[in-house]
Chains A and B, each alone.
Chain A
Amino acid sequence: MMRRRSMTGTPAPVPARALALLIALACILFFSSCLSVKESVAIFSEEAVNNGLITRGQAVMLAAAAVAAAGIAESPDPEQEYYIGRSVAATVLAKYPAYDNLELNRYLNLLGQGLALHSSRPEIFAGYRFLALDSMEVNAFATPGGHILVTRGLLRFARSEDELAAVLAHEIAHVTLRHGIDSVKGSRLAELATEVALAAGMSSGGEIAKFTAAFGDAISEIATTLIVSGYSQSYEFQADRTATFILKSSGYDPGALARVLSRMESAIKVGDAGFGATHPTPQAREEALASAAAEGKAAAAPKTAVSGKIAVSGKVAVPPNGDTVESIAPLALVKAERFRAAGAYF
């Protein structure tokens, strides 16, 4: 049987030592709810070093990596979300080509970044960014890093700036609610983080390749969720509800989302590529929105169409006697004109 000499010079069968270490680990975890991850790993690593299972250098790497991995599993920091998001966006762009139209993308960014100011996370690590995709499939993608990609096929469902804002607000909500990261959170993210930690802790030299493999797993999982399987129904309903709040707060009509969904209802069939495969039916989303509005969990549509009336900074003049779109034309007209100009590119 293979033997290994410990630091104290006492040789012992490795399986027996490993078993002892496992028992020690179980004891540590059982009795040590007050110990931090760092302390737990330090104690166990010391035992592993003393028993010749790992080197001192590996123990130090393990301690650093385990703390980082636990952090990733519990809540990846914004910089990590950003880098994961960049690669997820690049993965989406490998399937859907970018729509290289400066005017349209500039418009989407002004509108989208303005809407994001009214979200629960107005600033994220590197900000929200929007890009049109040159595809007639009806689809949109929001990465954990705030990269929001929308197909021309989806943009074409919007008949007004309010409705376009509704589409973008829904995607912004996926970012603010951290749905991308949550889709691989929990045990799976812990598993990925463990691989990262192991890559760092168990080998010295050339670890970047192993880190990369773990990174790739995370990217692949999020991209698969976004492109193939879609978020859970509850995430989509949450994003719809949050979108209505963003719309209301930013001066757009919160009822616009329901109108877009209603239009989609007749055009998208279950099983269609894109939204048909990755989202609940538009009808189910409309019903959930209506139900949430009735319970006060979503911003209700205003009684009159006042998309131009709600002044974000008080600069819009509200006429003394009117509350129709026609009578408060200035902002509504500007929005209509902007949308008409941008819509020519859809």
Chain B
Amino acid sequence: MTGRIGLTVSRILIIAAILLAIAGGSAAASEPPQPSVKPGEMTVQVLQAAVRGEPSALSAPLSMLAYGDIVYVTGSVDGWALLRLSGREKPAYMYLSSLTPKRIGGSGPMQTAVPGVSAPELALAGKGFDSRIEKNYGAKTHLDFRYVDLMEEFRFDPERCAAFLNGGE
């Protein structure tokens, strides 16, 4: 009985907390929310993002950033974020939509050495859906990810895609 009450209380607690968060912060617009472009740190929210010398997908990448990397954004122009890179006088650019003002990819409010809670459990709780969940779900439902993996191998860089649109290939 105690466990059931505990569960009920916790359920109410979390629902309330989530509703509070939603009420306080979200605007369920159809367009994706544009990140703030006030000067400051932003986080890369795509697996791989190119930093370019010009605000164009055809400009050669100066470097590549990974999901969760943090950059300092000084402003934006036509959907491109302006970055300041050390050792480079001119600004660098990356897609503004590839950045978010939120911190992502981190471990959240982690705390270790808690009796009865392992670090992986805590990491899972703080993260949500990931590859471990997919693996377990796939095994349970007998879903075949072979063609999903295959389609993900069709990766073409922007220069090649732009050349295609211009009549290449």
Indicate, yes or no, whether A interacts with B.
yes
Stretch from A70-78, A265-273, A278-286 that touches the partner: A70-78
Q: A212–B110 contact, CB under 8 A?
A: no
Q: B121–A200 contact, CB under 8 A?
A: yes
> Closest B-chain residue to A78, C-beta based?
B45
Complex alpha-carbon distance, A124 and B67, angstroms = 11
Contact with A along B58-69 (1 / 0, CB 8 A): 100000000100
Name the distance in Å between B7's Cβ and chain A's nearest Cβ.
Answer: 6
| Interface check A67, CB cutoff 8 A | yes
Contact with A along B120-154 (1 / 0, CB 8 A): 01101111111111101110110111011011101
Q: A53–B24 contact, CB under 8 A?
A: no
> Closest B-chain residue to A239, C-beta based?
B30
Name the distance in Å between A268's Cβ and chain B's nearest Cβ.
Answer: 25
Q: B97–A62 contact, CB under 8 A?
A: no
In-complex Cβ contact of A251 among B5, B28, B158, B165 (8 A): B165
| Interface check B89, CB cutoff 8 A | no
Give the interface SS of chain B, mostly helix, strand, loop or mixed: helix
Q: A74–B25 contact, CB under 8 A?
A: yes
Q: Kindly list chain B residues whose C-beta atoms are within 8 Å of the C-beta of A7.
A: none
Q: B105–A110 contact, CB under 8 A?
A: no
Q: Kindly list chain A residues whose C-beta atoms are within 8 Å of the C-beta of B32.
A: 120-121, 176-178
Q: Kindly list chain A residues whose C-beta atoms are within 8 Å of the C-beta of B86.
A: none
Contact with A along B9-44 (1 / 0, CB 8 A): 111111111111110111010111100000000000
Q: B151–A129 contact, CB under 8 A?
A: yes
Name the distance in Å between A184's Cβ and chain B's nearest Cβ.
Answer: 12
> Closest B-chain residue to A218, C-beta based?
B129
Q: B148–A93 contact, CB under 8 A?
A: yes
| Interface check A309, CB cutoff 8 A | no
| A198 and B2 in contact, given A126-B152, A147-B151 (Cβ under 8 angstroms) | no
| Interface check B49, CB cutoff 8 A | yes
Interface residues in A153-187 (C-beta closer than 8 Å to B): 176-179, 182, 185-186
Bin chain A's interface residue count. 35 or more
Complex alpha-carbon distance, A21 and B12, angstroms = 10
Q: A48–B10 contact, CB under 8 A?
A: yes
| Interface check A292, CB cutoff 8 A | no
Complex alpha-carbon distance, A80 and B129, angstroms = 5
In-complex Cβ contact of A330 among B111, B147, B152, B167 (8 A): B167
Q: B121–A207 contact, CB under 8 A?
A: yes
Q: B7–A114 contact, CB under 8 A?
A: no
Q: Kindly list chain A residues whose C-beta atoms are within 8 Å of the C-beta of B33.
A: 75
| Interface check A136, CB cutoff 8 A | no
| A93 and B2 in contact, given A110-B164, A190-B19 (Cβ under 8 angstroms) | no
Interface residues in B152-168 (C-beta closer than 8 Å to A): 152, 154-156, 158, 160-162, 164-167
Most buried by B among A37, A179, A218, A235: A37
Q: A90–B128 contact, CB under 8 A?
A: no
| A86 and B108 in contact, given A2-B2, A44-B13, A57-B116 (Cβ under 8 angstroms) | no
Name the distance in Å between A222's Cβ and chain B's nearest Cβ.
Answer: 12
Stretch from A256-264, A296-304, A311-319 that touches the partner: A311-319
Complex alpha-carbon distance, A76 and B127, angstroms = 10
| Interface check A84, CB cutoff 8 A | yes
> Closest B-chain residue to A21, C-beta based?
B9
Complex alpha-carbon distance, A200 and B109, angstroms = 14
Q: Kindly list chain A residues whose C-beta atoms are within 8 Å of the C-beta of B156.
A: 109-110, 113
Complex alpha-carbon distance, A312 and B143, angstroms = 40
Q: A131–B125 contact, CB under 8 A?
A: no
Complex alpha-carbon distance, A64 and B137, angstroms = 22
> Closest B-chain residue to A33, C-beta based?
B24
| A215 and B129 in contact, given A60-B111, A131-B151, A238-B30 (Cβ under 8 angstroms) | yes
Q: B154–A129 contact, CB under 8 A?
A: yes
In-complex Cβ contact of B17 among A41, A76, A90, A186 (8 A): A41
Q: Kindly list chain B residues whose C-beta atoms are within 8 Å of the C-beta of A74.
A: 21-22, 25-26
Complex alpha-carbon distance, A61 and B123, angstroms = 9
Complex alpha-carbon distance, A56 and B39, angstroms = 40
A-B contact pairs, 19 of them (CB 8 A): A48-B10, A55-B115, A56-B114, A79-B104, A83-B130, A83-B134, A86-B134, A93-B148, A98-B151, A114-B161, A114-B164, A177-B31, A178-B32, A179-B30, A190-B18, A204-B117, A204-B121, A208-B133, A235-B30
* Chain A interface residues (CB < 8 Å from chain B): 2, 4, 14-15, 18, 21-22, 25, 29, 33, 37-38, 40-41, 44-45, 48, 52-58, 60-80, 83-84, 86-87, 89-91, 93-94, 98, 100, 105-106, 109-111, 113-115, 117, 120-127, 129-131, 147, 176-179, 182, 185-186, 190-191, 193-194, 196-198, 200-202, 204-205, 207-209, 211-212, 215-216, 218-219, 234-235, 238, 250-251, 311-313, 315-316, 330-331, 334-335, 338
Add 10 more A-B contacts to A69-B18, A77-B104 (CB < 8 A): A41-B13, A71-B21, A73-B18, A76-B128, A115-B165, A126-B46, A191-B15, A204-B121, A208-B136, A313-B58
